[in-house]
Amino acid sequence: MERLREGARTFGIELDDEQLRAFQIYLDELLAWNQKFNLTSITDPDQIISKHFLDSLSLFTVLSPQPSALSILDLGAGAGFPVVALKIVRPDWRVTLLEATRKKCDFLQHMLDVLQLQDARVLWGRAETIAHEASEREQYDLVVARAVAELSALAEYMLPFAKPLGVCVAWKGEQIEAELNAAKNVYGQLGGRLREVKAVQVPGIEQQRHLVVIEKVSRTPRTYPRREGVPSKKPLT
Ligand code: SAH
């Protein structure tokens, strides 16, 4: 856990003992549940600290000054990365974890309960459907997603959820040229605009990581996202 404390400092975050205890509980629960069904292929605690916890916290390299009381959607939250990790650091954020797989939702709800996180909820469903619900559409200051889909499809999933002037952030790996190129004309069709591609070095991860920041500049046409499966099978060009 000292590695986590030191790693977080490189992103300008000072974790207190209570937060470190919360991360330890998260790590223990993740490994325990992972025995029963597959939540993560990474099982070495040091690797979990780097590849899950610190990678999640790298958001703070593009978000500054850190605003308070954001409403944030984690699209395809899986085992809770990045938003459960972020919520431990910023308990004032209102968070929604959207996840298509029921079992993962059960784990996410368990983590929210165990860590006693307030203003946090789990939503079971697919982005293509939920994004058309009036109570969810264009409701979020910040929409984040890690390891969910290629940028062209991801933009179609994410942008409908963002408020006008809100921001979407996608976690990406080292090689992103082809993906960025394929998506360059897509953001505009969805009311978005590419703001920044930030190269990030995460302590303990050799390869460079990237955060792709897309801002919402106008309303997303009602036709998006298209029906389930279409954004990834026939991505916009
Ligand atoms: N963000 C997590 C999980 C990545 S795996 C992490 O980085 O560790 C991708 C997750 O997204 C899976 O759990 C999958 O069920 C979910 N997912 C994929 N497409 C989705 C969609 N269209 N709507 C909601 N969830 C989706």
Report the C-alpha gap between 137 and 214 in whole angstroms.
17
Question: Within the chain, which residues score under 70 in pLDDT?
Answer: 64-67
Ligand 1, residues 47, 123, 132, 148: which to mutate, most atoms within 8 A of Cβ?
148
Q: How far is CA 169 from CA 57, 64, 129, 197, 214, in A?
A: 12, 14, 20, 10, 6
pLDDT tens digits along 42-69: 999 999 999 999 999 999 999 865 667 7
Counting atoms of ligand 1 from 1, which one is nearest the CA of 52?
8
Q: What residue spans of 119-202 are helical by DSSP H?
A: 127-130, 151-158, 177-183
pLDDT given for residue 63 in this prediction: 87
Q: Which residue owns the Cα nearest ligand 1 atom 16?
A: 76
Q: What is the pTM of this model?
A: 0.97
51-54 contacts at long range (C-beta below 8 A, 24 or more positions apart): 51/202, 51/204, 51/205, 52/79, 52/81, 52/85, 53/4, 53/7, 53/23, 53/26, 53/27, 53/85, 54/4, 54/7, 54/8, 54/11, 54/202, 54/203, 54/204, 54/205
Contact 228 CB / ligand 1 (< 6 Å): no
Tell whether ligand 1 has an atom less than 6 A from the beta carbon of residue 108.
Answer: no
- Atom 24, ligand 1: which residue's CA is nearest? 126
User: Is the CB–ligand 1 distance for residue 170 below 6 Å?
Assistant: no
Closest CA to 56 of 135, 147, 122: 147
Query: Could you tell me if the CB of 33 is within 6 A of ligand 1?
Result: no
Residue 29 Cα to ligand 1 middle (Å): 19
How far apart are the CA of 86 and the centre of ligand 1, in A? 17
